[in-house]
Amino acid sequence: MTLVEVRNAQKRFRNTRALDGVDLTLRSGEILGIAGPNGAGKSTLTRVLSGEENLDSGEILVDGEVLSELHISELVAVVHQEPQVWLNLTVAQNLVVGNEDTKFRLPTISIEQSKVLERIGIAHLAGTPLAECSLAVRQRVEIARALVRDSRVLLFDEPNSALTDDESQALFQFMHELADTGHVVALVTHRLAELVEHCNRVIVIRDGRVATELTGELLTETAIAEELVAGQQHEAKSREAASSFLSEQEPVVATHEWSDAQGAFLDISLEVAPGEIVVIVGVEGSGGREIVAALGGMRPSHGEIQVREISSGSGQHTKIAYLSADRREMLFHNMTVADNLVSRLGSPLIANQFGWLRRRNIRVEASSLVERYSVRTDGVEQMLTSLSGGNQQKVAIAAAMASNPSLLLVEEPTRGVDVGSKRDIYQMLREYADDGRAVVAFCTEAPEAFELADRVMVIQRGVCRDILRPGDYPDIQSFASALAKLELINVTVHSSHKSAVLDAPIIPNERKDPA
């Protein structure tokens, strides 16, 4: 019997409170579900629970004893979305690393360790290099490592986002087994259906606090969905007028039977009119993210795609600008706010025809962008790193908008951003679309899609499952439950095709492909 208690946990990163007084109890024998919107503090909580991150204040007790981070990390193991294992070693060697039990001799796998491999069903792959194994096998290796180290607490962080249905089912079955054998098991996921199906208890984290705890009869998808979106105010929107004129104009981007070269999505037909924001919604691995990246030219694709350039007014014009989900991938931390804002521009805006930099133009242009998009800064000549996360995000989006793309592509526009900045960012994107440009965004959260979109395209396993118009729904709750229902259908339909899950190592696609 193990009992983990978190008391008044507080954690702050530079400008944001990630955890703002979390109280939480985990017991062995049950599966605890952890849900929450992006940026609510879920991942910080996981890192704190696993000892990867220190708390600013508050404590973690295991069986009534206060433990240091070091002890916690021995006791708690995380199973990541992307397993943290060694691809250059075999399955067996992966188990041995760090648990060698030898000083000079070449370490080999012990009897207990091979028993663990047998228990989780990958003993026949012991000698296979992990690079040749499927993601599911890699994940099991990570679980096996936790078991070998005798971890009593296992945190599953979005564990099945990239697994097939059969692999997911097997994983959940194993999670139940772990709980039954006295382990503490926690599951962090976005998928409401799975939380309801597999968890005994679900907590919803919002703004760094535990907003609610749901058990028994109260634990339903609708209840979780409502809790996820509660506390976010919404203003009445006037998009009725917009949607009527939309269809009459020639689309900015039109695709027809358009597919990803690596099979992430298939036969997508999408038209986006000037002034329209289309949000693509899908869970991780659904192909939604890849659609946006491929539209941005960051992934190879085939099929029909046409992008029309809208030129209006003066200044620089580009066809397409793309923003990835990861802020670190979009910004230059070695440069000032001003330099970041103009980083996508060129001659004649920030340099003359000989390439001579126009410093004054940069300052003027940057200042006007800062003002227009209400970036909070003490001056454009500050380093980018002095801004809060939300304001850095605004800088990234403003920098893309500065190049006047006809089609603006954004992945998760408000990931890891505070509520105030979120609203600013929605407004930025709306105003940009209202200028007669097209915006396509990928979102994982129902409230964001509701807030932002004229149309929502729901992607599942690489195909368009449905198109929703947020304008057809009276409020966010009904929209969120409509989305959740779409997901529910998916979950109940899935077991139609059975295949052997872990019979042979699956060689990744890129290896098979001679090109």
Partner 1 sequence: MAPITGEQPGTRKRGLALDQLRTAGLVLAIILSGLVFQSQTSSFFSSENLLTLLRSMSSLGIMAFAQMLVILLGEIDLSVGAIYGLAATTVAVLWLGGGALPFHVPLVIALIAAFLVAIAIGAANAFLTSVVKIPSFIATLGFLSLAQGSELLLSNASTFNPAYNTPLPSSGELRFFHLLGGSQLPFGIPIQVGWLAAMLGFFWVLRHRTLFGFRLVAIGGNSTAAEIGRLPIRRYKFVVFILSAVMAALAGILDFSYVGSVGPNSGGSLVFPVIAAVVIGGASLNGGWGTIPGTLLGAALLAVLANGLALLGVGAFAQLLFVGFVTIGAVTLDRVTRQLANKRASRVAQ
Residue 277's nearest CA partner among 315, 322, 239, 309 is 239
Rounded least distance, CB 419 to partner 1, Å: 8
Supply the minimum distance, in Å, between the C-beta of residue 18 and partner 1.
Answer: 6
Number of residues that bind partner 1 (CB under 8 A): 53
Degrees, nearest 5: CA angle 27-33-39: 125
Long-range CB contacts for residues 127-130, cutoff 8 Å, separation at least 24: 127/90, 127/91, 127/92, 128/90, 128/91, 128/505, 129/87, 129/88, 129/89, 129/90, 130/85, 130/86, 130/87, 130/88, 130/89, 130/90, 130/91, 130/94
103 binds partner 1 (CB under 8 A): no
* Contact region with partner 1 (CB under 8 A), list: 284-292, 300-308, 325-333, 426-434: 325-333
- Candidates 82-90, 246-254, 321-329, 441-449 — which segment interacts with partner 1 by CB under 8 A? 321-329
Distance between CA 283 and CA 31 in Å, rounded?
Answer: 22
Alpha-carbon span 39 to 503, nearest angstrom? 38
**Residue whose C-alpha is closest to residue 390's, from 327, 481, 474, 315:** 327
Identity of the residue, 37 or 159, whose beta carbon is nearer to partner 1 in the bound complex: 37
CA 343: distance to chain centroid? Answer: 26
Using rule CB under 8 A, residue 271 touches partner 1: no
The window from 90-98, 153-161, 216-224, 334-342 that contacts partner 1 (CB under 8 A) reads: 334-342
- What is the 3 state secondary structure string of 182-240? CCEEEEECCCHHHHHHHCCEEEEEECCEEEEEEEHHHCCHHHHHHHHHCCCCCCCCCCH
Which uninterrupted H or E stretch holds 18? strand 16-27
Tell the smallest beta-carbon distance from residue 415 to partner 1 (Å).
11
Member of 8, 57, 385, 478 binding partner 1 (CB under 8 A): 385
Q: How far is the CB of 9 from partner 1 (least distance, A)?
A: 14
Is 250 exposed, middle or buried (CB count within 10 Å of its CB: 0-12, 13-18, 19+)? exposed
Please select the residue that binds partner 1; options are 142, 227, 260, 418, rule is CB under 8 A: 418
Q: How far is the CB of 332 from partner 1 (least distance, A)?
A: 4
Q: Does 14 bind partner 1 (CB under 8 A)?
A: yes
The window from 90-98, 227-235, 242-250, 381-389 that contacts partner 1 (CB under 8 A) reads: 381-389
Nearer to partner 1, 62 or 253 (CB): 253
State yes or no: residue 149 binds partner 1 (CB under 8 A): no
Question: Is position 324 an interface residue for partner 1 (rule: CB under 8 A)?
Answer: yes
Looking at beta carbons only, is 287 or 296 nearer to partner 1?
296
Minimum separation from the CB atom of position 22 to partner 1 (A): 13
Among 64, 98, 355, 474, binds partner 1 (CB under 8 A): 355
**Does 378 sit near partner 1 (CB under 8 A)?**
yes
Closest distance to partner 1 from the beta carbon of 190 (Å)? 18
Alpha-carbon distances of 184 from 61, 209, 321, 430, rounded to whole Å = 14, 21, 45, 45
Q: Which of 326, 356, 318, 361 minimizes the C-alpha distance to 341?
A: 361
Selected binder of partner 1 within 65, 181, 240, 356 (CB under 8 A): 356
CA–CA distance from 441 to each of 244, 392, 503 (Å)?
Answer: 21, 18, 38
Residue 43 beta carbon to partner 1: minimum distance, rounded to whole angstroms = 12
Q: Would you count residue 444 as binding partner 1 (CB under 8 A)? A: no
399 part of the interface to partner 1, by CB under 8 A: yes
Residues with Cβ within 8 Å of residue 496, at least 6 apart in sequence: none
Provide the binding-site residues for partner 1, judged by CB under 8 A.
12, 14-18, 20, 39-41, 207-208, 296, 298, 318, 322-324, 328-336, 339, 343-344, 346-347, 350-351, 355-357, 378, 381-383, 385-386, 388, 390, 399-400, 416-421
